[in-house]
Amino acid sequence: MDKDLFTQEMDSNITKFLIAMSKKATKYCVAKYQNLEMKLNKGLPEYIKANYQRCADVRTLLERDRPTKLDKIYEPLQFKIDDDILKEDEVKSSISTDLHRTIISGYAGNGKTIFLKKIYKELIDNQVNFYPIFFELRNISSGTQTLFDCIYESILTYSDSFTQEQFTYGLKKGLFYFLIDGLDEITDPQQSNIQAEIIKLTLKYPDCPFVVTSRPNEFTTWENFYVAHLLPFNYHQCQSLAKSLNKGLPLSGDG
């Protein structure tokens, strides 16, 4: 897709998304907190747009020097929960509709990060009633920082007018959809602290979906989480990918 056309489509999708979200968020925020300027759309558009662009583009094995549009190379994934084999759409539905907190477990290169980017982009494109928050745990700079503070600071990078009161209010109203990437990319002590905080956040704010990615591990202490094991490509997925390669479309190398 031409860059200008993509930018126009992106801006259009984000505008439609924010209008749709304002119908959900503003009825709470304006009526009760107008004096505190609690409209979430006041501070979030810059963050939403910056991360949309980030999630729409990926680096690939065959074209390392330029970004490739995610939609051009994306191949739907399959997962296993206990003995059930689930399609990608089934897993996404269980997260957003049934509010199943979910760990996406898979090896490096299986597509965990790509899956989160796809969710982020679809939430905007499909005008789903959540503000997506994409956060990579490797960006936590020290063991003393809480996940709450790190996520809030990541929003401030793009939206310096966004207040902590807005963030807390959005959490209480179930307006955020958290995509937390790379639990295995932080130290063991950090993992223990982050796990405890995530579980606490999911219990305190039960209406916000949470998805966490990690390499395979024992997740027995994540008592309120489903574990969806990312399956390797089957024959048909490989065949579809091969057709894309034959058309000159590259294979994604994100984790």
Q: What is the CATH number of the domain that holds 219?
A: 3.40.50.300
Q: Which residues pair with 180 in a beta bridge?
A: 135, 212
Instruction: Supply 166's token pair.
Output: 């807005």
Which pLDDT belongs to residue 9? 79
Mean pLDDT (whole number) for 134-150: 88
Confidence of residue 125 (pLDDT cuts 50, 70, 90): very high
Decide: 172 and 164 in contact? Cβ < 8 Å: no
The total domain count for the chain is 1
- Judging by DSSP bridges, how do beta strands 68-69 and 57-58 pair with one another? antiparallel
* 254 lies in some domain: no
Mean pLDDT (whole number) for 101-122: 95
Which pLDDT belongs to residue 13? 82
Which pLDDT belongs to residue 22? 63
Select the more confidently predicted residue: 132 or 234: 132
Which pLDDT belongs to residue 241? 66
Q: What range defines the domain where residue 135 resides? A: 3-56+77-241
Task: Give backbone dihedrals phi and psi of 130, rounded to 5 degrees, phi first.
Answer: -140, 145
- Whether the per-residue pLDDT at 27 is higher than 60: the answer is no
Which pLDDT belongs to residue 35? 40
In angstroms, the CA 40 to CA 35 distance is 13
Select the more confidently predicted residue: 17 or 102: 102
* 111 lies in some domain: yes
* 158 lies in some domain: yes
Give the residue from 113, 129, 109, 133 showing the smallest Cα distance to 52.
Answer: 133
Single-letter code of the amino acid located at 238: C
Query: What is this structure's pTM?
Result: 0.85
Which pLDDT belongs to residue 212? 98
Give the residue from 114, 75, 57 showing the smallest Cα distance to 253.
Answer: 114
* 70 lies in some domain: no
* 187 lies in some domain: yes
* 250 lies in some domain: no
Instruction: Supply 23's token pair.
Output: 């119908």
Count each helix (H run) and each strand (E run) in the chain, helices first.
9, 9
Task: Give backbone dihedrals phi and psi of 44, rounded to 5 degrees, phi first.
Answer: -90, -20
- Whether the per-residue pLDDT at 20 is higher than 80: the answer is no
Which pLDDT belongs to residue 26? 52
Confidence of residue 206 (pLDDT cuts 50, 70, 90): very high
* 253 lies in some domain: no
